[in-house]
Amino acid sequence: MSLSESPNFIQSNVSLKPFNSFRFDAEADFFAVINQLDELVEALEWANANSIKITMLGEGSNLLVTGDVKGLVLINRLKGISVSEQDSIVQMTVCAGESWHQVVTFAVANGFSGIENLALIPGSAGAAPVQNIGAYGVEVKDVLARVQVMDRANAELLWINASDCGFSYRDSYFKQDWADRYFITAISLNLSRDHKVKVSYGGLANGLPDNPGIQQVFDRVCQVRSEKLPDPKLIGNAGSFFKNPIVDGAQYQAVLKDFPDLVAFAVGDSWKLAAGWMIDKAGWKGYSREGVGVYDKQALCLVNHEADKAEYLLRLERDLTLDIFQKFGVQLEREPVQLGELPQL
């Protein structure tokens, strides 16, 4: 099969600016929006026959597009939600192209608890396990039962149990070893009608009554996130740009000695340091240059005000992370996934 025989839904030389929440401009060699599984199979067979690399995107909200992208970029728009119940357990199966926030909204509206703390996290349902998204003491791995994937080699569909996905803090095999092996096509969540809410993390309980319901928790999470993070429709961003670094006890004590007001949380024998606090302490909060900057309400968030290319943000990231390392001895790690050619800085 030659390149001229590509499926008619595949386009050439398409700008990815509308498909990443930073709104950085770059072109994909080939591009398609996938609405059905048979389209995914057809695109996969064509790409494999022509030795063309495929990159699957959801809503592009955890993405840093640094330059033009070689190969075929697919936008996952597989839709559908199904529910089955047994006793108080609710199994909700969600196609990967669904908006994650709409999935949470659907669950709360139907009285299903377990993901209300994950409200207003941008992105698709299929991206949730890749990053092991989390907020306010809850991670998607806590409720994930299994993940449906398509094998890139042969277009075979299979289910993988959540326990086999290598989940850790903002990480999974889908982000690492399986990044070029599987496409996520659906996820299955184990939710509950027994409402045991978690509100002890990050001051979430402030403004909530005693024994709040899941709708109240959902509303509170939406309120807090809206106050802290910019709407990507208005200001280009990918949410939290840096992970909160996890360090051992010795490094924690070393930082604490110099900064007694350090914000940190115990994680087993380790400590999770508040990256946003360090960035703010170092004076970067609200800083801007070359059309990009650090959000003035949440130092973890880097924003794009008017830059067309990612190189300006990459320079800001380089200078900021170096400064944090020099001041605190801590190396910050980027949370969004980098895609495309890297520019000279």
Lowest mean pLDDT among 36-50, 115-129, 204-218, 263-277: 204-218
Q: Which residue in the list 21, 152, 240, 311 is annotated as catalytic?
A: 240
- Examine the domain organization and report whether 246 and 300 are in the same domain: yes
- Domain-ending residue, one of 45, 76, 107: 76
pLDDT at position 87, please? 86
Examine the pLDDT at 206 and tell me if it is beyond 90: no
pLDDT at position 1, please? 45
How far is residue 16's CA from residue 32's CA, in Å, rounded to a whole number?
A: 11
Summarize pLDDT for 314-326 with one digit per residue, the tens: 999 999 999 999 9
Summarize pLDDT for 31-65 with one digit per residue, the tens: 999 999 999 999 999 999 999 999 999 999 999 99
Domain total in the chain: 3
In sequence order, what DSSP letters do the residues of 129-179 get, joined into one string? HHHT-EETTEEGGGTEEEEEEEETTT--EEEEEGGGS--BTTB-TTTTTTT
With a pLDDT cut of 90, the percent of the chain lying above it is 90
- Domain-ending residue, one of 176, 205, 228: 228
- Examine the domain organization and report whether 292 and 214 are in the same domain: no
For residue 70, is it within any domain? yes
Amino acid at 8: N
Q: Which residue in the list 116, 311, 317, 335 is annotated as catalytic?
A: 335
- Examine the domain organization and report whether 135 and 184 are in the same domain: yes
pLDDT at position 202, please? 67
* Average pLDDT for 237-265: 96
* Average pLDDT for 89-114: 98
For residue 344, is it within any domain? no
- Domain-ending residue, one of 199, 228, 257: 228
The whole-angstrom distance between residue 267's C-alpha and the CA centroid of its chain comes to 21
- Alpha-carbon distances, residue 171 vs 82, 175, 274 (angstroms): 27, 6, 18
Summarize pLDDT for 177-193 with one digit per residue, the tens: 999 999 999 999 999 99
The residue among 210, 205, 231, 216 whose CA lies nearest residue 136 is 205
pLDDT at position 5, please? 81
pLDDT at position 88, please? 84
Strand ranges for the chain from DSSP E: 11-15, 27-34, 54-57, 63-65, 69-76, 81-86, 89-95, 134-135, 138-139, 144-151, 157-161, 182-192, 236-237, 246-247, 264-267, 270-273, 288-289, 292-294, 302-304, 337-339
Examine the pLDDT at 2 and tell me if it is beyond 70: no
111 — pLDDT class (breaks 50, 70, 90):
very high
How far is residue 6's CA from residue 12's CA, in Å, rounded to a whole number?
A: 10
How far is residue 187's CA from residue 239's CA, in Å, rounded to a whole number?
A: 22
Confirm if 205 and 199 have CB atoms less than 8 A apart: yes
Q: What is the CATH number of the domain that holds 31?
A: 3.30.43.10
pLDDT at position 144, please? 98
Summarize pLDDT for 135-184 with one digit per residue, the tens: 999 999 999 999 999 999 999 999 999 999 999 988 999 999 999 999 99
- Strand 270-273 versus strand 246-247 pairing type: antiparallel
- Strand 302-304 versus strand 337-339 pairing type: unpaired
pLDDT at position 69, please? 98
pLDDT at position 3, please? 65
For the question of residue 335 being annotated catalytic, the response is: yes
pLDDT at position 210, please? 86
Examine the pLDDT at 342 and tell me if it is beyond 80: yes
How far is residue 248's CA from residue 252's CA, in Å, rounded to a whole number?
A: 6
pLDDT at position 108, please? 98
The residue among 58, 64, 32 whose CA lies nearest residue 338 is 64
Range of the domain at 29: 3-76
- Examine the domain organization and report whether 207 and 123 are in the same domain: yes
For the question of residue 163 being annotated catalytic, the response is: no
Hey, what are 340's tokens?
Answer: 């495309």
- Examine the domain organization and report whether 12 and 90 are in the same domain: no
For residue 345, is it within any domain? no
Please identify which residue in the block is written with the tokens 């801007």. Answer: 288
- Strand 337-339 versus strand 63-65 pairing type: parallel
Please identify which residue in the block is written with the tokens 């039962």. Answer: 145
For the question of residue 170 being annotated catalytic, the response is: yes
* Average pLDDT for 192-219: 88
In sequence order, what DSSP letters do the residues of 176-214 get, joined into one string? TTTTTTEEEEEEEEEEESS------STTTTTT--SS--H
- Examine the domain organization and report whether 28 and 49 are in the same domain: yes
Q: What is the CATH number of the domain that holds 328?
A: 3.90.78.10
- Examine the domain organization and report whether 215 and 243 are in the same domain: no
Q: Which residue in the list 23, 152, 170, 220 is annotated as catalytic?
A: 170
* Average pLDDT for 326-341: 96
Lowest mean pLDDT among 4-8, 67-71, 186-190, 229-233: 4-8
* Average pLDDT for 280-295: 98
- Examine the domain organization and report whether 163 and 283 are in the same domain: no
How far is residue 66's CA from residue 62's CA, in Å, rounded to a whole number?
A: 13
- Examine the domain organization and report whether 331 and 265 are in the same domain: yes
Examine the pLDDT at 4 and tell me if it is beyond 80: no
